[in-house]
Amino acid sequence: MKITDYFLILLSTFILGVNYVAVKIGVAEFPPLFMVALRFTIVASILIWFAKAPGKYFPAVLLFSFTMGSLHFGLIFIGFEHVDASLVAIIFQLGVPFSVIFARIFLGEVFGWRRWAGIGVAFSGAVLIAGAPQSSANLFYLLIVLISVIAWGIASVQIKRMADYDAISLSAWMTLLAAPQLYLASAVLESGQINALTGASLQAWGAVFFTAIGASIIGYGLWYHLIGKYTVSRIIPFGFLAPLFGIASAVILLGESMTTVTIIGTVLILSGVMIVQMRSLRKPSAKLSERNDQAPLA
């Protein structure tokens, strides 16, 4: 890899890691579902000009907009209100084991004992974290984050069925179709949207635009650019920098703390995910288009 590409991949994972902090700051002043809707509105208004129409994939993209856009993003932003950003960054990595399990259930993919072992190690770390004092106090919202990750795993199977549809177009149409769903859900379930629009601080608005332009467009844009330029096995290991940047930025910028139990749980989750990921990349059939084999970044 070129030196400039190493810099770009560090920049990408750094942005996607800091995004956890940005979301945490944003939901402190914006209703979470409303914030996701605003984020998607900004993303769609920029990307739609570069997107191809979904054509035959429209029904699949519409369903994907609900699974990934409304369920995954909506629930994880709700979780952010009550769960530390560092914990969300950790739990989010369970998307890889869930995507492998759902690929087995819905696509009939077969994998061996090593990936089962990796899944077991990752889930044992999640159980350990869930039992820690600072997380058990918000166990309900930690469960909401976990459900959002399960939705991500289901969405990853949907992505695999649209492997020929490029990432920019998929992101553009997903956000365009999901935004109205989220505005409607926010109108029914939340309050204070107008007050947030008129009274939110510059810091909160900065967080909204960072999640939209910084993470969704620049962060993921650089990531998929490098995925397309190099082999998946060359780029994927760098994906583990994103949760580490997320944890570090949450500790430094938000003053969050990591207990010994949480650190052990984090090591178990990341180790298990790495086992699953590396075994997936060794499959003879592994292709660049299999975006669900990538660790979730943000």
In a domain, 95, yes or no: yes
- Mind listing the pLDDT tens digit for each residue in 115-159? 788 888 888 888 887 776 555 557 788 889 999 999 988 888 888
Q: Comparing C-alpha atoms, which of 53, 165, 156 is closest to residue 98?
A: 156
In a domain, 298, yes or no: no
pLDDT for position 295: 44
| Structural domain boundaries enclosing 117 | 3-293
pLDDT for position 286: 45
pTM: 0.86
- For the chain, the domain total comes to 1
- Mind listing the pLDDT tens digit for each residue in 23-54? 999 999 999 999 999 999 999 999 999 999 99
In a domain, 174, yes or no: yes
Q: How far is CA 166 from the centre of its chain?
A: 18
pLDDT for position 284: 46
In a domain, 107, yes or no: yes
In a domain, 218, yes or no: yes
- Mind listing the pLDDT tens digit for each residue in 249-293? 999 999 988 888 888 888 998 888 888 877 665 554 444 344 444
